[in-house]
Amino acid sequence: MNTDQLKNEQIHIIPTNGNGNSKDILPPNEKIALIEQKFKEIMQILGLDLSDDSLKDTPRRVAKMYVNETFSGLLPENAPAITLFDNKYNYSEMLIEKNIPVYSCCEHHFVPIIGKVHIGYISGGKVIGLSKLNRVVNYFAKRPQVQERLTVQIAEYLKKVLGTENVAVIMEAEHLCVASRGIRDIGCTTITSSYHGIFLTSDKRKEFNQQVKA
Ligand SMILES: [Zn+2]
């Protein structure tokens, strides 16, 4: 594609979190300091020796990881800026971006959810920079999540930014709360989907599913 010919448009929709109360959010540095202190207490309660070289910086490391990485999607200012282009070449078929890696965190056990997301959409006049699809997935994944909500949040956000109902999302993932504890079922995959607009018709849904499986 010749990007010079395209008029691009930067949009930045600040989504509501949809993950509990987003009011009275502390600044990131205050969050890190407080989590560090609380995580230190958890480690002490577990009987760990915090004077040990290997453990002494763990509370700080965990606090920074939670705020800056694992749960960075709780901060609306981390929502990705989306670049849209006019669909000047009148591409009217579906676009599919598949196997987008996803690393999220189960909100019930605070252990990883690891999987892939497949996105399909049919342009309503605008096309999106492809890497932005990955960024949208990542933004909503970096929160305490359940897979059903994550799938729907990605679809709803894309509908809003693309200005079209014609969006489909499939997510397949392994939940380490199932694989590594409790029932310990390794290799068990959870699949969720969110179909909208034209993807609600059986033809387009089938085409999307076939391409994803291919
Ligand atoms: Zn869980």
Domain positions in the chain: 28-70, 82-213
Tell me the fold of 82-213: GTP Cyclohydrolase I, domain 2 (3.30.1130)
Task: Identify whether the C-beta of residue 161 lies closer than 8 Å to the C-beta of residue 84.
Answer: yes
pLDDT number for residue 23: 57
Contacts of 180 (CB under 8 A, 6+ apart): 111
Mean pLDDT confidence for 148-168: 97
Average pLDDT of the segment spanning 61-83: 94
Give the N- to C-terminal CA distance of the chain in Å, as an integer. Answer: 25
pLDDT tier at 5, thresholds 50, 70, 90? very low
189 vs 184 pLDDT, higher one: 189
Q: Confirm whether 106 is a catalytic residue.
A: yes
Average pLDDT over residues 128-145: 96
Is 37 in the active site?
A: no
Annotated catalytic residue within 9, 37, 44, 108: 108
Is 108 assigned a catalytic role? Answer: yes
On the question of pLDDT at 109 being above 80, the answer is yes
- Is 153 tagged catalytic? no
Q: How far, in Å, is the centroid of ligand 1 from the Cα of 178?
A: 7
pTM of the model: 0.87
Residue 65 parent element (H or E): helix 58-65
Residue 202: the pLDDT is 84
| Poorest-pLDDT segment among 37-46, 83-92, 193-202 | 83-92
Mean of per-residue pLDDT scores for the chain:
90
Q: How far apart are CA 202 and CA 124, in angstroms?
A: 20
Q: Which residue has the higher pLDDT, 116 or 7?
A: 116
Q: Which residue has the higher pLDDT, 39 or 83?
A: 39
- Under a CB-based contact definition with an 8 Å cutoff, are residues 181 and 161 in contact? no
Our answer to whether residue 12 is catalytic in this structure is no
CATH topology of domain 28-70: GTP Cyclohydrolase I; Chain A, domain 1 (1.10.286)
Task: Count other Cβ atoms within 10 Å, centred on residue 40.
Answer: 19
